[in-house]
Amino acid sequence: MMQSPVQIASRGLSLAPWWRERILRKSEKLEEYFGRITRCRVVVDSPHRHHHKGRDYRVRVDIELPGAFLVINREGCPTLDEAVEAAFDAAQRRLEDRARLMHHAVKHHEAPPEGAVVRLFRDSGYGFLETGDGREIYFHRNSVLDGAFDRLTPGTRVRFREEAGEKGPQASTVAVVRLAPLPERPRRRRGAAVAYR
């Protein structure tokens, strides 16, 4: 449901009430193609009158969506009916394209898989992480985001992107999710004597 009522304006001509009703129905029908329309404004214009051709009609549909604003213009139509149909057909196509794009983006931008660091070779600048399905994947110091390679320890939870390397699977990017807990230091008992040499 649109947040604001559909606005219908006309310039250079007077719209009959039945035309306004028809445009309103077409505007509301656009929500079938993209359900998150926040505002819709339609301007019907007849700016030019040619002696040999009659009027040229123009219809502009402004559609506001979360994070986007679509403008559809159809002009040079010999009848108002053609201009309205052309504008709303184009609006429908643009909304369908937008919905497909959003669906595709949501579908293919899932969170990367998680794993844990299992072995590190600090001096050589690489290590291995274990995936959720038990495979080991190589990663290089340069693949670890935010310069966090030196903070890694076995057990550190990471997210990674896997790709095919020369010697098998490797992680192209590694992002720390949670550092491994530090090993507990033995606690000194209260009141215990400390020997000094």
The pLDDT tens digits for 128-186 are: 999 888 889 999 998 898 888 999 999 999 999 888 777 778 888 899 887 766 556 66
CA-closest candidate to residue 157, choices 172, 127, 179, 133 = 179
Domain boundaries, the chain: 7-102, 114-178
In the chain the first and final C-alpha atoms are separated, in Å, by: 81
Is the full-model pTM beyond 0.85?
no
Distance CA 30, CA 19 (A): 17
Q: In the predicted model, what is the mean pLDDT of residues 112-120?
A: 91
CATH superfamily of 114-178: Nucleic acid-binding proteins (2.40.50.140)
What is the CATH architecture of 7-102? 2-Layer Sandwich (3.30)
**Would you give the distance in Å from CA 123 to the centre of its chain?**
40
Strand, coil or helix: 193: coil
The pLDDT tens digits for 68-78 are: 888 999 888 89
- What is the pLDDT confidence band of residue 110, given thresholds at 50, 70 and 90? low
The pLDDT tens digits for 10-57 are: 998 889 999 999 999 999 999 888 888 889 999 999 865 555 556 789
Q: How many CB atoms lie within 10 A of CB 78?
A: 13
